[in-house]
Structure 1
């Protein structure tokens, strides 16, 4: 009985703390609304087939037969043939059971490895009486898994980040909207380079101001972001132009109907901007936090502290850029290695773009650190740099 009273007292204290603190109240309300929205979203995602025009079938049972296949290089690969029973979930044939066939390989390059309770888009061939003659799998229905991951991300960012997490979430949503508008403008004939530069400026200003608020920290982060991005882009474009694009291979962009050089410059701009913005906010926030804890700190000490923080961030962020860019090429790298291409060819032809992107971003990171440090200190201490 005493334990029950103790838990009751703790629960009441928690609610009183939430009630008396506006920030906690806001977080509590936001989290509760998100939990309710998450439950409703999960329920709607589990039964949203009626909203699709394409026919959807849910797999009820699978019978598998394993075999092997030899490719043109003499290498064997495991093959799995799946005989599937499924129930149609929407359309005029809703509720009918059908038979489907699927073949999946170990590499899963062009096929699906289906499981019971998976939902798939199918095409149906009908006879004159609207009866089903045959059916074929088109693709896996993935919206449910994407929704679950999105909901989990939103819950975690609110629970851990609180009000700033909510602001970060808002900035992500706004940036997605801006990106969608840019795509539509490009489809309507606007200059891609011009609208990409405008979008990048909007991305940076809105992201930093929403997360940090309009204050000295925001100003220093924004100046460092734009300065670092401009200088790193200037260096990258100058080096590429001076070499007349030698060593840059656009084989992976050969399907584009737009000049690949312009697309590549835009890719560098957006990727570099994101990395530099992350660094600039981290440095500005760190300097601001140190100053708030000790407003009487000397400028030289504050600058040296910022440098030490910047050195640690610089190493990890440079690695992050390399991993982020190269990770997207892992499937192509494995495919080329499997077909006997030498590693030198893969690096020269398929990884040249990723390496240039990573190097440009790393240059921007290195440049933005001292810029962010000195601008932050100047704004906070209101005296010339180096003056004690």
Structure 2
């Protein structure tokens, strides 16, 4: 126990805690950075409560609040305003406000104003800072490289969105295919380094991801895409089919990369410890490693894809739609994405094992 306490980075934790307190204090008082008026709520009164029942016998209650507060920024700073806010028990499209909270408001003049949305930068910054601090404290250089890869990949993603909008979605599949290769290359370079292992992992990741897409396109061709409802992609203003494939590539890339990295790094370490191990033994070892991690990865992707559609599926069911229609309009594309990603994950086992058994370099004495 004493050795564990000695190894625990108490000083570093203290430094990050102090920086965190200062940062949270600044963010909670950063109203001057915003151009839109912000109101700090000082008094809340409940004015009314109304029961609402729709045609499907769904019951909800609507409440009206009287909010009083003061403007904390801009040319109206210090002015006191009063406005009404309506919220429901479900809180699907609204929010209940409490004393001390801050919210963005729209000032219409002549004493009229409406509430727009809550100010949420403090919890968001806290969670981001907590994640960064934990990576620095426990992962050290690995955490720094992980943060660097996230920042670089975010910038690349924004650039890809810009090019997609500039081309009106005509080349969305090519843009995000190139982006997937860049994501993989940059992440693996920062995490593994510029070496043979990195190139083998990159080759396995790219090959398995695009092979899974190719197999899915062949299946789509023979089945005429029956049961795939692209119309469920709401608010899409460009061709939905290539956009769906681009989503699938980006969504499955991380899992395929994770599995390839686990298999290849383990086999390279095995080759370093046992230089005389045969290619067949390396391949079989990689296959055994893949068997143990393949199932959990497929399930993780399945839960992610399906979890994204859970709220809309429940809404469809609550409004009298059948299970079949609710599934088709909300979960069918997620299910197809899970299957395509699962194909890539399964392919990663033999591909990563085979590439490593062929390219793994013997340790020179």
Same fold (TM over 0.5): yes
**Aligned: 1:250 with 2:230:** yes
Kindly indicate whether the alpha-carbon contact (under 8 Å) linking 2:49 and 2:61 is maintained by their aligned counterparts in 1. Answer: yes
- Whether the 8 Å CA contact 1:216–1:376 is kept in 2: the answer is no
1:21 corresponding residue in structure 2: none
- 1:72 deviates by 2.5
Q: Which residue of 1 aligns with 2:178?
A: 198
> 1:24: which partner in 2?
none
Any residues of structure 2 matched to 1:282-301 within 5 Å, and which? Answer: 282-301=262-281
Number of corresponding residues: 359
Local SS of the residue matching 1:237 = helix
Match of 1:187 in 2: 165
Is residue 90 of structure 2 the alignment partner of residue 107 of structure 1? yes
Shift of 1:272: 2.0
Select the residue among 98, 106, 123 that pairs with 1:123: 106
Higher mean displacement: 164-173 or 315-324: 164-173
Q: Find the counterpart in structure 2 of residue 272 from structure 1.
A: 252
Picking from 307, 327, 334, the partner of 1:347 is 327
CA pair 118-289 structure 1, distance change in 2 beyond 3 A: farther
| Structure-2 separation of matches of 1:295 and 1:113 | 65
User: What is the alpha-carbon distance in structure 2 between the residues aligned to residue 116 and residue 262 of structure 1?
Assistant: 48
Secondary structure in structure 1 of the residue aligned to 2:140:
helix
1:378 match: 358
TM superposition shift of 1:367? 0.1
TM-score, length basis structure 2: 0.89
Deviation at 1:122, TM superposition (A): 0.5
Shift of 1:381: 5.0
Residues 295 and 62 of structure 1: CA distance in aligned 2, closer, same or farther (over 3 Å): farther
* 2:55 paired residue number: 72
Question: CA 1:251–1:116 in 2, change beyond 3 Å: closer, same or farther?
Answer: farther
1:49 partnered with 2:31: yes
Root-mean-square deviation (CA, aligned residues, Å) is 2.8
**SS of the counterpart of 1:99?**
strand
The equivalent position to 1:330 in structure 2, one of 296, 301, 310, is 310
Indicate if the aligned counterparts of 1:251 and 1:350 stay in contact, CA closer than 8 A.
no
Asked if the contact 2:252/2:301 (under 8 Å) is kept, the reply is no
Query: Are the equivalent residues in 1 in contact too, given 2:56–2:318 (CA < 8 A)?
Result: no
* 8 Å contact from structure 2 (residues 271, 362) kept in 1: no
